[in-house]
Amino acid sequence: MLKMLALAALVGLTGSAAAQDLNGKEVVYHAGSATLKGYFVSAALQQKRPGVVILPAWMGPTAFSKKVADLLGTYGYNALVADIYGDGQVLSDTKTAAEKSGYYKKNYAEYQLRIKAAIDALVAQGADANNIAVIGYCFGGTGALEAARADLPVKGVVSFHGGLTRDTTRTVTPVMTRVLVLHGDADQTMTHADVENFRQEMRDSKADWQMDIYADAPHGFTEPGSKAYNEAAARRSWVAMGNFLDEIFGTQRSVPWRYTLADANAGK
For the stretch 90-119, pLDDT in tens is: 999 999 999 999 999 999 999 999 999 999
Q: Read off the pLDDT band of 260 (50, 70, 90).
A: low
d(CA 105, CA 146): 9
Q: Read off the pLDDT band of 15 (50, 70, 90).
A: very low
pLDDT at 62 over 90: yes
Q: Collapse the DSSP code of 213 into the 3-class scheme (helix H, G, I; strand E, B; otherwise coil) and give the result.
A: strand
Displacement of CA 28 from its chain's centroid (Å): 19
d(CA 174, CA 207): 7
pLDDT at 48 over 90: no
Given this model, what pLDDT does residue 45 score?
A: 59
Burial of 216 (0-12, 13-18, 19+ CB in 10 A): exposed
Given this model, what pLDDT does residue 16 score?
A: 28
**Candidates 1.10.579.10, 3.40.640.10, 1.10.760.10, 3.40.50.1820; CATH matching 2-266:** 3.40.50.1820
The beta strands (E) that lie in the chain are given as 23-31, 34-42, 51-55, 78-81, 132-137, 156-160, 178-184, 208-214
Q: Is 172 left (phi over 0), alpha (psi -120 to 50) or beta?
A: beta
Backbone phi, then psi, for 136, in 5-degree steps?
Answer: -155, 155
In the predicted model, what is the mean pLDDT of the chain? 89
Q: Read off the pLDDT band of 263 (50, 70, 90).
A: low
Which range has highest mean pLDDT (16-30, 158-172, 243-257)?
A: 158-172
Q: Read off the pLDDT band of 13 (50, 70, 90).
A: very low
d(CA 41, CA 162): 24
d(CA 19, CA 22): 9
DSSP element (H, E) containing 70:
helix 63-74
d(CA 27, CA 73): 16
Which ranges in 107-257 belong to alpha helices (H)? 108-124, 139-149, 192-204, 231-249
pLDDT at 6 over 60: no
Given this model, what pLDDT does residue 257 score?
A: 86
- Mean pLDDT of all residues in 262-266: 52
d(CA 201, CA 222): 25
